[in-house]
Amino acid sequence: MTASASEREDNQVCQEPAVIPSRSITPSQIDADALKVVRRLQRFGHLAYLVGGCVRDLLLKRSPKDFDVATSAKPNEIRKVFRNCRLIGRRFRLAHIHFQGKIIETATFRAELRQNPEGDLLIRSDNEFGDERADAFRRDFTINALFYDPVAKQLIDYTDGLEDLVERKLRFIGQPSIRVQEDPVRILRAIKFAARLDFCMDEETWRAICDYREELKKAAPPRLLEEIQRMLRSGAAEASFRLLWESGVMEVLLPEVAHYLARSPERGEEREPGVGLWAYLRALDKLGDRDMLTNSVLLAGLVLHPVLDAAACAGEGYGLQFETKAVGEVARAMVRPWVERIRLPKWESERIQQILAGQKRLVKLRTNASIPKGLLRRNDFPEILDLFELYVRATGKDRRKLAHMRKTLMRSANRSPNLKGTLGDGQAASERKKRPPRRRHGGRRRKPAFQPSAPTSKG
């Protein structure tokens, strides 16, 4: 029988860690520079462990994206140990230990924050040092609170995170309702991890996400945008956004996309509501090189179907007003609120509008038609083509058109070096002919300084 969140919270005071010898993690799986950081800190008398997502992924036989280190050493002590260390952060100092082509982020153990449950629970300051136990319990999920000592080859588990990994369960540390009010972004992190790892949430975690979704309005908008972009790049975008929709979080975070899904019966999509959006996200998940896509392309694809639907219904159901039904005009009206709500940069909102309008032009082209030169020479054409390729993968249409466009691009690039830059070829851009230096203001070149000629001998 599983203990309730309140019972687990009461047991935290006296809970001792489970120290588990681990043979499933081998030194070859660990980044050599991260291993070097841990060993050197321990050699200087400090506690040091691998922590967080890298330990979780190693135990799940996944490849960690990065390796983080937690230590008892204070930031200035870390800097004394490593000459290649740079301290960052104002509220809480972090050590970035630089190696060739990578950074090993090293953090001092932090204290568990105690707040009055009767007042506002939102965390506004979290900058006190603590010990390893406090650092484990202040983390969000049990599966992210595991420490691994690669020297002693031991797992240190304060929160029963290893048991949750085995059961493939996502669970908050402590009482979920309090944890999501302390930091509402944990709602998005819970959805992201559940989708990406294919874990199920326990009942209390899911209830807290649904009940406190409005707390996301208190979160820092740039963090919301960052989590949306991470979901789109995670390889589990479809599962992530389905959970956002089912929990009601999407109505708070992206009401424009939620309105599109709510209008599914009016479009005759009773069997699979929002079929176009899910097909796009499914195609994105299957794309092997999605990390090469820009954030503008990812967000343009997310809002593509809502924009087309809003244009078709003249904005009814979306609360939008626009003069024409042109895709660019509708996209501008739909994406404008994102600038305030999730701090989308204005230049990127304009970029999304241009990409959507350009993609619409490609869809209307005949299969063997040539690409308009004005469109081909635009600096955002590679992004337009990326979105069009996602459209082809999602719908299965216009495959011949896409192949024809790529052949046309290759021929144009071979004829004109200036067009190679539109293909994302950095080498071609560097080979372009450089312009001669401009003359100074005034129009005339300066005369060289007077130099006396060498004396000549007279006969």
The answer to whether residue 140 is catalytic is: yes
Instruction: Inform me whether the pLDDT recorded for 283 exceeds 50.
Output: yes
Closest CA to 221 of 211, 232, 229, 210: 229
**Total length of the chain:** 459
Say which DSSP state 157 is in. E
Average confidence score pLDDT of the chain: 85
* Closest by CA position to 204, among listed 426, 8, 401: 8
**Which residue matches tokens 């929002």?**
274
pLDDT of 273 reads 75
Domains of the chain: 10-167 (3.30.460.10), 171-253 (1.10.110.30), 276-429 (no CATH)
**What is the spatial distance between Cα 361 and Cα 355, in angstroms, rounded to a whole number?**
10
User: Of residues 33, 57, 66, 211, which has the active-site annotation?
Assistant: 66
End-to-end CA distance of the chain: 118
- Active-site residue flag, 291: no
What is residue 84's predicted lDDT score, i.e. its pLDDT? 94
| 96-101 contacts at long range (C-beta below 8 A, 24 or more positions apart) | 97/33, 97/37, 99/33
Across the range 12-41, mean pLDDT stands at: 87
Q: 165 and 60 in contact (C-beta within 8 Å)? A: yes
pLDDT tens digits, 191-201: 999 999 999 99
Chain segment 385-436, per-residue pLDDT in tens: 999 999 999 999 889 998 888 887 777 666 665 555 444 433 333 333 445 5
Q: What is the pLDDT of residues 206-219, one digit of tens each?
A: 999 999 999 999 99
